[in-house]
Structure 1
Amino acid sequence: MTKTLSFGVMTAPVDDPLRHRSDLTGLHLACTTIQYHPLTALTLRPNNTVTVEGVLGSFFQEMASRTNFTYACRQSRDGQWGVLVGGAWTGIIRDIIDGEADIGVAALDITLKRSEVISYLHTILAGDYRIFMRKTSSNNHIWSAYSKPFSVSVWLAVITLVVSFVVMIRLTTQFSPLQEPLSLSDSTLVISGFVCCQGTSFPLLSISCRTVALVWLVLQVILVSYYTSDLVSSLAAGPPPPSLSTLHDVLNTPSYDFGFEKGSALHQASQQDHRETFLVLTVTLEREFMIFCHIADWTKQLESKDILLQKIWKSIKDGNYQSLANSMEAGMKRVYEEPYLFIESEIPLRYSYGHDCRLFMLPTSYFPVKISFALKKNSPLVPVLNGVALDILSSGLPVKWWQDWRREIRGCRTTQFEPVDLKVVVGPFLILTLALATSSFFLAFEILTERRKIRGRWHGTK
Structure 2
Amino acid sequence: MSSLMNFTIISQLQPLYLMEVNSDNGIKSYEGIMVDIADEMAKQMNATYNMIALDIGYSSDPVLDELLISDDNLTIALSTITISKDRLDKGVGLSFPWATVGISLLARKPETEAHLFSFLGPLDATVWFGILGAFLAVCFLLYVMSKSKLEEKYRSNERLDNSIWFTFAALVGQGQDVALRTPGSKILIASWWMFVLLIVNSYTANLAAFQTVSQMSREIGSLDDLVHQTKYEYGVVNNTMTQWTIEKSRNENFQRVASYLRENPENLVNSVEEGIQRVKSENYIFIEEIIPLKYAASQDCSLEVVGGQLNTAFFGVAMKAEHFMTIVDDIILGFANAFLFFMSII
- Unpaired runs of 5+ residues, structure 2, are 114-209
Query: How has the CA–CA distance of structure 1 residues 367 and 261 changed in structure 2, closer, same or farther, with 3 Å as cutoff?
Result: same
**Offset at 1:336?**
0.6
Q: Which of 357, 364, 387 is equivalent to 2:326? A: 387
Query: How has the CA–CA distance of structure 1 residues 91 and 62 changed in structure 2, closer, same or farther, with 3 Å as cutoff?
Result: same
Q: Which of 96, 109, 115 is equivalent to 2:88? A: 115
Partner amino acid for 1:135? K
Q: Which of 260, 266, 279 is equivalent to 1:315? A: 260
2:279 is matched with which residue? 335
- Render the CA deviation track for 1:196-240: whole Å, top value 9, x for unaligned: xxxxxxxxxxxxxxxxxxxxxxxxxxxxxxxxxxxxx99xx9896
Query: How has the CA–CA distance of structure 1 residues 111 and 401 changed in structure 2, closer, same or farther, with 3 Å as cutoff?
Result: closer
2:199 is matched with which residue? none
User: Which secondary structure state, in structure 2, belongs to the residue aligned with residue 367 of structure 1?
Assistant: coil
- Render the CA deviation track for 1:259-308: whole Å, top value 9, x for unaligned: 12234311222344xx5xxxxxxxxxxxxxxxxxxxxxxxxxxx4x2x33
Q: 2:229, 2:281 → 1: CA distance?
A: 18
**Offset at 1:246?**
2.5
Q: 1:314, 1:254 → 2: CA distance?
A: 14
2:10 is matched with which residue? 31
2:36 is the counterpart of 1:97: no
**Offset at 1:337?**
0.5
2:223 is the counterpart of 1:247: yes
User: Which secondary structure state, in structure 2, belongs to the residue aligned with residue 366 of structure 1?
Assistant: coil
Query: How has the CA–CA distance of structure 1 residues 45 and 100 changed in structure 2, closer, same or farther, with 3 Å as cutoff?
Result: farther
Query: How has the CA–CA distance of structure 1 residues 72 and 27 changed in structure 2, closer, same or farther, with 3 Å as cutoff?
Result: closer
User: Which secondary structure state, in structure 2, belongs to the residue aligned with residue 336 of structure 1?
Assistant: helix
Q: 2:311, 2:35 → 1: CA distance?
A: 24
Q: Which of 264, 271, 274 is equivalent to 2:240? A: 264
Q: Which of 94, 101, 104 is equivalent to 1:130? A: 104
Q: Which of 43, 63, 69 is equivalent to 1:65? A: 43
Conservation of the 8 A alpha-carbon contact between 1:30 and 1:100: no
**Offset at 1:30?**
4.7
**Offset at 1:103?**
2.5
**Offset at 1:35?**
1.5
Q: 1:333, 1:347 → 2: CA distance?
A: 17
TM-score, normalising length: structure 1 = 0.46
Aligned-residue Cα RMSD (Å) equals 3.6
**Offset at 1:399?**
5.0
Query: How has the CA–CA distance of structure 1 residues 29 and 42 changed in structure 2, closer, same or farther, with 3 Å as cutoff?
Result: same
User: Which secondary structure state, in structure 2, belongs to the residue aligned with residue 354 of structure 1?
Assistant: helix
Query: How has the CA–CA distance of structure 1 residues 354 and 323 changed in structure 2, closer, same or farther, with 3 Å as cutoff?
Result: same
Q: 1:259, 1:49 → 2: CA distance?
A: 38
**Offset at 1:353?**
1.4
Query: How has the CA–CA distance of structure 1 residues 394 and 76 changed in structure 2, closer, same or farther, with 3 Å as cutoff?
Result: closer
Conservation of the 8 A alpha-carbon contact between 1:77 and 1:95: no
Conservation of the 8 A alpha-carbon contact between 1:109 and 1:372: yes
Conservation of the 8 A alpha-carbon contact between 1:258 and 1:323: yes
Q: Which has the higher helix share?
A: 2
Q: 2:26, 2:53 → 1: CA distance?
A: 9
**Number of residue pairs matched by the alignment:** 246
Q: Computing the radius of gyration over CA atoms, which structure comes out larger, 1 or 2?
A: 1
Higher relative contact order (CA 8 A, sep 6+): 2
Query: How has the CA–CA distance of structure 1 residues 49 and 77 changed in structure 2, closer, same or farther, with 3 Å as cutoff?
Result: farther
Partner amino acid for 2:229? T
